[in-house]
Amino acid sequence: MEDRAEKVENFRREYLEINTYNRPTFCPECGGVMVFKGVGEYRCEKCDCQIFDDYGKVRNYLEKHHGATTAQVADATGVSQKSIRDMLKEDRLEITTGSKTFLQCEMCGTSIRGGRLCPKCEVNYHRNLEAQARMGHKSGYSGFSTQKPAVDDGSKRFTRDR
């Protein structure tokens, strides 16, 4: 019998280490929580600004520059060559298109083309991080762009000035 909860927890810890790629947690502009949109793209839930993590930057670059070398990609994106090599090793970058190797999502076991999680589980994973980031917000951060101090009465509150 396997302890599924423990398995997921172990995986989550491991995944966190290899998959952060400088994931933006908070918006550098307004401090809002960055929400994962897919393939390395994040949007601030407050001011809607868009940020890419290292994986997103590398992927964007490779989309426009097919066949670029690791050194060229590192140069253009500012992502270290080591990180790029890690992504390749992890098969996050689908450089070999047409490959029929089927991998399995490590969370739910569904077939995936690359990486370690299916898109659904990857989104869930990020939703968890975002929820944690919001919890962290409650104590401490008060610089909301509306300039109103956040009143934390436990209920979710969206303030609008106009």
For residues 27 and 87, which CB has a smaller minimum distance to Zn ion in the complex? Answer: 27
What's the chain's Rg over C-alpha atoms? Answer: 18
For residues 73 and 107, which CB has a smaller minimum distance to Zn ion in the complex? Answer: 107
Question: Crossing angle for the helix pair 70-77 and 54-64, nearest 10 degrees?
Answer: 120
Least distance from C-beta 54 to Zn ion, angstroms? Answer: 20
Closest of 79, 72, 34, 17 to residue 54, by C-alpha: 79
Total residues in contact with Zn ion, by rule CB under 5 A:
13
Closest of 140, 138, 158, 156 to residue 148, by C-alpha: 158
7 binds Zn ion (CB under 5 A): no
Site string for Zn ion, 101-120 (x = CB under 5 A): ----x-xx---------x--
Task: Indicate which single residue of 27, 58, 62, 87 sits in contact with Zn ion (rule: CB under 5 A).
Answer: 27
Task: Indicate which single residue of 61, 83, 121, 125 sits in contact with Zn ion (rule: CB under 5 A).
Answer: 121
> Of the ranges 9-17, 20-28, 71-79, 148-156, which one interacts with Zn ion (CB under 5 A)?
20-28
Location of structure tokens 């969370």: 107
Angle at 36 between CA 47 and CA 83, to 5 degrees: 115
Least distance from C-beta 49 to Zn ion, angstroms? Answer: 5
What distances in angstroms separate CA 43 from CA 29, 66, 76, 83, 121, one per listed residue? 12, 26, 22, 22, 19
Residues lying near Zn ion in the complex (CB under 5 A) are found at: 27, 29-30, 32, 44, 46-47, 49, 105, 107-108, 118, 121
